[in-house]
Chain A
Amino acid sequence: MEPILNVKALRTEFFTYAGVVKAVRGVDFNVYPGEAVGIVGESGCGKTVTGLSIMRLITYPPGKIISGEINLDGTNLLKLPEPKMRKVRGAKISMIFQDPMTSLNPALTIGFQLSEMLMLHKNIRKEETKKRVIELLDMVRIQSPETVFNQYPHQLSGGMRQRAMIALALSCEPRIVIADEPTTSVDVTIQAQILNLLYDLKSRVNSSIILITHNLAVVAGLCSRIIVMYAGLIVEEGTDRQIFDNPKHPYTWGLLRAIPRIDEQEKERLSTIKGLPPDLMSPPKGCPFALRCSYAMKVCFEEIPPYFKLEEGHRVMCWLLDKRAPIVKRSG
């Protein structure tokens, strides 16, 4: 199957007074039609910047996409002039932002913001848009959509706002939806509603989803493929089973063991990943995780490891998989 989105050697940097922050340092991945891909990692590992780069929402100055390709259905988005890109944004790729309070316009009604999208991209006559908008609000399970149509963002609860954001992102039935931490600012019950909603929509509209989150538990139910990012690089990629049942990168081990499980029988001490991610203004010469890794070898500080391919679709950037490296067992 042909991928719908192909990201190739993407590099995004921010030119600040203090220096150049290399936020994304060469990222390649594919997204296939109808699949959900999770991108996980700690704050500052480049997951949001990757999402924004795909949308071409990096503003210069200070940010700039240095090199790479973002191919959507065979068109390289990085080569498109801005007016053409505007036709793509929202219609073919859309984004659900983390904070629905700041990403909806507080001065416009929910109805207006949704109608605007439809009129812009779908050439729907003004009279018909209202009907369509109400259908959309109903689809994301907003109760009494007619009332919400005329309401402003501040009149809605956090969960409702997030659902309105999702309706906005899906209004033009895009091929790809990028959801950036869509559930971080809401309660668990609302989180479950939103994840369920995304799951439904994936099956109904057949859009592909890129779910960006720091919580591996959130991707477990929704995504079939998982990308683990660290310090602007993809350090491991695999199917959900490969990542959860047979993870190979020590960073993935750390992420998995740091979350308490509600179904744990006996209480175990949480394991932590000591230290902090490296400063991306001067990233380390070797493996970016070496400083925090309990298995680091000499080579790890010298050279960035290549990708070692394991089973189909499972790749890991770690020297431990070299045949000369000692065999280590995942602890915990």
Chain B
Amino acid sequence: MGNEIILEVQNLKKYFSVKSGLFASTAGNMVKAVDDISFKVKKGETVGLVGETGSGKTTVGRTIIRLYDPTAGKIVFEGIDIAKLNEKEMKKVRRKLQMIFQDPYASLDPRLTVEEIVKEPMEIHNLYKPGERKQRAAEILCLLGLNVEHLTRFPHEFSGGQRQRIGLARALAVEPEFIVADEPVSALDVSIQAQIINTFEDLQEKFNLTYLFISHDLAMVKHISNSIIVMYLGRILEIAPSKEIYSKPLHPYTQALISAVPIPDPKVEKSRKRVILEGDITSNIKLPKGCRFRPRCKYAMDTCKEIEPILEEVEAGHSVACHLYKK
């Protein structure tokens, strides 16, 4: 693992307009799905992105690979700001920047065979000679624990775990450097989750891949990541090395998230004190003034109502956006 920064996101914003009714104004009502976030990813490492449903984590992933056009901000990938590239220029970058989706049932075209699915990205990017592509597809499948016979089959013939491997094969077909994995194991059984996670780790070692691993499962994110970004309502609340996220969570929201994760050990689990977060994540159309987490925070002070805290580094590699840690 080097110290080379492969991806730097600067002040990224992605707003969606809420239109309800035919003549609704699009100016005022905006969902601020991602609201001014910045972070860096080093080459060869895994960064975990966690948060509840509605925190904006999927939008971050999709904006980085430009499935969405950012509202503002920079996405610097290997030294080039890709936020404003046009489709043609972006195509070149996309070869290096791939995505794996959450739902292994919806993200594979049911009318294509596995061979066609895995070959398609090679055709789009004009990689390999047409005659070599099948061989290449077979190699990737074998690498992922599938075999050559699977090439002629259709997605519905596979189990969830196998489909997620096909999705991974499709992403790997173009030899990417950076993979955005959006909840890649959430839809799978625990035993299958472990298989896929191990495959992720093996591939990273083999090809020096960089991952942005998006998930709401903190235990899994902590397991696979080098550092973890905690998001809430479009903002980053904490960035921490994954070793410190359990031993030293700083933000009250991170603390609550950690305490909500069940531990598979009745001795620990039945004696643990839980911080139960009451209520649901609030809507990000009408954001509260001041800190976004204030309505659910038990440490909320007067300043929290007025001023929104900014993300500041409190220790090497550990940043938090909370007034409790202001000097």
* Interface residues in chain A, defined as those with a beta carbon under 8 Å from any beta carbon in chain B: 42-43, 141, 143, 157-160, 187-193, 195-196, 214-218, 220-221, 240-241, 244-245, 254-264, 267, 269-273, 276
Contacts and interface: CB of A to CB of B under 8 A. Distances in A.
B197 A270 contact: yes
B36 interface: no
B66 interface: no
* Majority-rule SS of B interface residues: helix
B198 A270 contact: yes
* Majority-rule SS of A interface residues: helix
B268 A188 contact: no
B260 A188 contact: yes
A263 B262 contact: no
Contact of A187 (B52, B258, B259): B52
B280 A159 contact: yes
Contacts of B266: 220-221, 240-241, 244
B238 to A, nearest CB: 15
Contact of B223 (A192, A257, A267): A267
A271 B277 CA distance: 32
A191 B280 CA distance: 12
Interface of B: 52-53, 159, 189-195, 197-198, 201, 216-220, 222-223, 246, 256-270, 272, 274, 276-280
B263 A189 contact: no
A42 B194 CA distance: 13
B190 A192 contact: no
Contact of A264 (B159, B194, B198, B223): B223
Q: Lowest 8 CB-CB distances: which A-B pairs, in order?
A: A260-B223, A192-B260, A270-B194, A217-B262, A217-B264, A258-B194, A221-B269, A240-B266
Given A188-B218, A215-B190, A272 B265 contact: no
A158 B256 CA distance: 19
A263 B246 contact: yes
Nearest to B51: A187
A42 B263 CA distance: 19
A217 B260 CA distance: 11
B256 A260 contact: no
B276 A244 contact: no
Contacts of A193: 276-278
Given A187-B52, A193-B276, A272-B195, A260 B222 contact: yes
A147 B267 CA distance: 40
Contact of B190 (A159, A188, A258): A258
A262 B276 contact: no
Contacts of B193: 258
Given A192-B260, A263-B263, A263-B268, A42 B189 contact: yes
A221 B274 CA distance: 11
Given A221-B270, A259-B219, A270-B197, A192 B276 contact: yes
